[in-house]
Amino acid sequence: MTLLNSFDPQTATVVGFGINTLLITSEAKQGALARKLAGMGCRIETCDEIYYALDRVMDGPQDFELVVVDCDSMGGLGQGRRVHALLKATGRCIPMMLVSKECEAQSFPFTRYEPTVLRAPASSISLRVGFEHAMQERLLMARAS
């Protein structure tokens, strides 16, 4: 089966189409990362405390489909990986993106159980590529229906 995708060069394609996204950052609600995610069509909720964010994912009224961690504002890439390990230990499998200046090589894992790691500051293009990689299963299901 071959999927063909045609693009209109005059308009940008919105890929987020209403995905509930939790952004863990200490930036202002209208920070650069939040604006770029919103520009892709994501519905953003921001959290500036890691354990509160994990509580929102586990017990909150909203089901998040993507978690994005601004590692530089939350204590570094190690802290972002710790957030991922804590979420993974709960048994919840939610796609995760880690954005950090400490990232030497961007990572696009083959399994959805590992986070996509992007180098900061993330450009709109790298953020979109990381987003599409993290959400590849959902995008494939959307195209198939």
Q: Is residue 56 part of a domain?
A: yes
Angle at 79 between CA 73 and CA 82, to 5 degrees: 145
Q: What is the 3-state secondary structure (H, E, C) of 82-96?
A: HHHHHHHHCCCCCCE
Tell me what pLDDT residue 79 has. 94
Is residue 121 in a domain?
A: yes
Are the C-beta atoms of residues 70 and 33 closer than 8 Å to each other? yes
Question: What Å distances lie between residue 25 and 91, 108, 110, CA to CA?
Answer: 23, 21, 26
Give the total number of structural domains in the chain: 1
Greatest alpha-carbon pair distance for the chain in Å reads: 45
CATH code for the domain in which residue 87 is found: 3.40.50.2300
Q: Are strands 66-70 and 20-24 parallel, antiparallel or unpaired?
A: parallel
* Rounded Cα gap, residues 137 and 116, in angstroms: 14
Residues spanned by the domain of 28 = 20-144
Q: What pLDDT, on the 0 to 100 scale, is given for residue 145? A: 63
Query: Would you say residue 24 lies in a domain?
Result: yes
pLDDT top residue among 91 and 144:
91
The verdict on residue 125 lying in a domain is yes
Does residue 12 belong to any structural domain of this protein?
no
How much is the average pLDDT of 22-31?
Answer: 86
Cβ(68)–Cβ(97) under 8 Å? yes
Q: Are 67 and 57 in contact (CB under 8 A)?
A: yes
Any domain includes 70: yes
In a domain, 107, yes or no: yes
Q: Confirm whether 13 is domain-assigned.
A: no
Is the model's pTM score more than 0.85?
Answer: no
Residue 87 near residue 67 (C-beta atoms within 8 A):
yes
Residue 139 binned pLDDT confidence (cut-offs 50, 70, 90): low
